[in-house]
């Protein structure tokens, strides 16, 4: 990539982060309502710390840190980069102020803009690939920012609005009947290929053997999930994994994270406040445990990540049609609102991350990189499940068919939904 193209891309990506924060009030930047949620101020500083640490400290001659303790405050989980402030206490810090964090961003942006033209040709490949990683890291945090803002506002009983109106369903369109598309089994190659950026956890490409399988042509809707609830789904241990059953008992869970019953009718917290639940929209903010229990109750199952990737590749799904951060809906659309070619499954890219039945494990031949970047993905490869496809808070140019997201099975503050799979009978 040319130097001018790289710095343009840098400015564009950094600017998206600022755009996401524009509707916030100063107080919204600071709070941490639950340990999983980081204050927006922390995201703004942490993504900046990443560029400062991985790029400026490595390539800039005689660089002195912007503030010597920011490394301690804004390092997320890199043990090789020293001690860190506790994640669960990120919301306890009133300083640095929001203003100071924005100044920190500007200062690092200025230094990066200079550095792009100072780096010698001999270091360019190394430098530019770290810059691209930093930009992808910032895009991951853009999605996290939206998730965290939704929790900060949505767990507040005033249900403040972030977006004027979340437009999600088109009542003129009929609810789409769920159909299952048959995909042929056999040996298939999966994993990231090509020259573009991908994370180390998407490689190496390798062959997998899958049997013939059926995949739903759309996501599970709120109406379908409501049937599960009304059928006593949360009260019947037979549908649940043992850990999932314990988790919902211990935490008093009986509906998706943002569902609220108001005067006898179901509502949903969205980024524009508390709205009536729209039955034809996809159910979202469910944990792996809930997705798996719903699939069991339906007499179906979740797809494996291999099946998901084979289906997406075979069908030729394309991010240009998906509902992503760029569309600024920040909520999944109903399947009827999605354009479709022939028997292509809808909503596979964008709308919601889809839980798969696959544990997050290294692909055959995967090796962690040396140094701090070896901590980016590899050390999380246990006790988490893979999700595929991106969501309405993912930047469109950040997603790929081979992209592997991962969360612990009880987490549900991410935009996660359910697509069913089945075996031909």
Spatial neighbors of 122 by CB under 8 A, at least 6 apart, are none
> In terms of CB distance, is 144 or 291 closer to Fe ion?
144
Least distance from C-beta 46 to Fe ion, angstroms?
Answer: 6
Q: Which of 390, 396, 368, 401 is nearest to 188 (CA)?
A: 401
Kindly give the residue spans of alpha helices, DSSP state H, lying in 155-287.
Answer: 222-230, 242-251
Q: Pattern 67-106, binding to Fe ion, x per CB under 5 A? A: ---------x------------------------------
Q: Pattern 350-389, binding to Fe ion, x per CB under 5 A? A: ----------------------------------------
Q: Which of 381, 406, 373 is nearest to 79 (CA)?
A: 373
Least distance from C-beta 108 to Fe ion, angstroms?
Answer: 15
Residue 48 found at the interface with Fe ion (CB under 5 A)? no
> In terms of CB distance, is 76 or 344 closer to Fe ion?
76
Least distance from C-beta 76 to Fe ion, angstroms?
Answer: 5
Least distance from C-beta 366 to Fe ion, angstroms?
Answer: 20
- The Cα 317–Cα 339 span in angstroms is 12
> In terms of CB distance, is 47 or 255 closer to Fe ion?
47
- The Cα 130–Cα 280 span in angstroms is 42
Task: Give the residue closest to Fe ion by C-beta.
Answer: 76
Residue 180: helix, strand or coil by DSSP? Answer: strand
> In terms of CB distance, is 43 or 331 closer to Fe ion?
43
- The Cα 424–Cα 398 span in angstroms is 34
Least distance from C-beta 43 to Fe ion, angstroms?
Answer: 8
Q: 207 has which bridge partners?
A: 189
Using the structure block, give the residue that is written with the tokens 């090796």: 367
- The Cα 218–Cα 180 span in angstroms is 9
Residue 301: helix, strand or coil by DSSP? Answer: strand
- Helix or strand (DSSP H, E) at 43: helix 40-51
CA distances to 234, 286, 301, 410, 412 from 247, rounded to whole Å, are 11, 13, 20, 7, 12
- CA dihedral in degrees (365, 402, 375, 17; nearest 10)? 170
Least distance from C-beta 142 to Fe ion, angstroms?
Answer: 11
> In terms of CB distance, is 144 or 337 closer to Fe ion?
144
Q: Evaluate whether 257 touches 267 at the Cβ level (below 8 Å).
A: no
Least distance from C-beta 220 to Fe ion, angstroms?
Answer: 30
Least distance from C-beta 377 to Fe ion, angstroms?
Answer: 11
> In terms of CB distance, is 188 or 404 closer to Fe ion?
404
> In terms of CB distance, is 66 or 193 closer to Fe ion?
66
Size of the site for Fe ion (CB under 5 A): 1
- The Cα 298–Cα 291 span in angstroms is 11
> In terms of CB distance, is 138 or 307 closer to Fe ion?
138
Least distance from C-beta 33 to Fe ion, angstroms?
Answer: 20
> In terms of CB distance, is 225 or 406 closer to Fe ion?
406
Q: 406 has which bridge partners?
A: 386
- How far the first Cα of the chain sits from its last, in Å, is 51
> In terms of CB distance, is 140 or 313 closer to Fe ion?
140
Count of Cβ atoms closer than 10 Å to residue 155 Cβ = 16
Least distance from C-beta 49 to Fe ion, angstroms?
Answer: 9
CA distances to 52, 183, 215, 309 from 188, rounded to whole Å, are 41, 12, 16, 10
State the residues that interact with Fe ion by CB under 5 A: 76
């Amino acid at each position: 990539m040319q130097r001018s193209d790289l710095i343009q891309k840098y400015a564009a990506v950094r600017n998206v982060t600022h755009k996401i924060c524009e509707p916030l009030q100063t107080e919204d930047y600071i709070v941490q309502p639950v340990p999983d949620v980081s204050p927006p101020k922390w995201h703004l500083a942490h993504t900046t710390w990443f560029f400062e640490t991985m790029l400026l400290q490595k390539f800039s001659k005689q660089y002195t840190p912007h503030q010597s303790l920011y490394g301690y405050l804004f390092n997320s989980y890199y043990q090789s980069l020293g001690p860190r402030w506790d994640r669960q206490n990120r919301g306890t810090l009133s300083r640095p102020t929001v203003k100071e964090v924005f100044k920190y961003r500007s200062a690092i942006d200025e230094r990066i803009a200079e550095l792009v033209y100072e780096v010698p040709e001999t270091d360019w490949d190394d430098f530019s690939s770290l810059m691209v990683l930093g930009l992808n890291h910032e895009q991951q945090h853009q999605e996290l920012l939206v998730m965290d803002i939704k929790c900060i506002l949505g767990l507040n009983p005033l249900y403040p609005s972030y977006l004027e109106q979340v437009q999600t369903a088109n009542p003129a369109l009929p609810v789409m009947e769920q159909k299952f598309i048959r995909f042929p089994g056999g040996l298939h190659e999966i994993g990231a290929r090509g020259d573009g950026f991908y994370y180390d956890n998407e490689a190496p490409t390798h062959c997998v053997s899958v049997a013939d399988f059926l995949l739903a042509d759309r996501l599970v809707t709120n109406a379908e999930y409501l049937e599960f609830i009304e059928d006593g789904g949360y009260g019947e241990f037979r549908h649940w994994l043992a850990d999932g059953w314990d988790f919902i008992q211990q935490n008093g869970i009986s509906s998706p994270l943002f569902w609220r019953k108001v005067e006898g009718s179901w509502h949903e917290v969205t980024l524009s406040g508390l709205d009536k639940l729209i039955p034809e929209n996809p159910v979202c903010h469910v944990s792996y445990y809930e997705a798996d229990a719903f699939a069991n109750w339906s007499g179906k199952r979740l797809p494996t990540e291999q099946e998901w990737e084979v289906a997406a590749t075979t069908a030729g799904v394309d991010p240009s049609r998906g509902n992503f951060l760029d569309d600024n809906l920040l909520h999944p659309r109903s399947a009827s609102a999605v354009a479709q070619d022939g028997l292509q499954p809808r909503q596979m890219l964008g709308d919601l991350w889809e839980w798969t039945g696959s544990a997050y494990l290294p692909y055959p031949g995967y090796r962690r990189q040396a140094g701090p970047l070896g901590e980016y993905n590899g050390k999380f490869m246990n006790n988490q499940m893979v999700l595929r496809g991106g969501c309405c808070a993912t930047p469109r140019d950040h997603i790929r068919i081979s992209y592997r997201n991962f969360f612990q099975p009880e987490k549900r503050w991410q935009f996660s939904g359910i697509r069913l799979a089945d075996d031909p009978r």
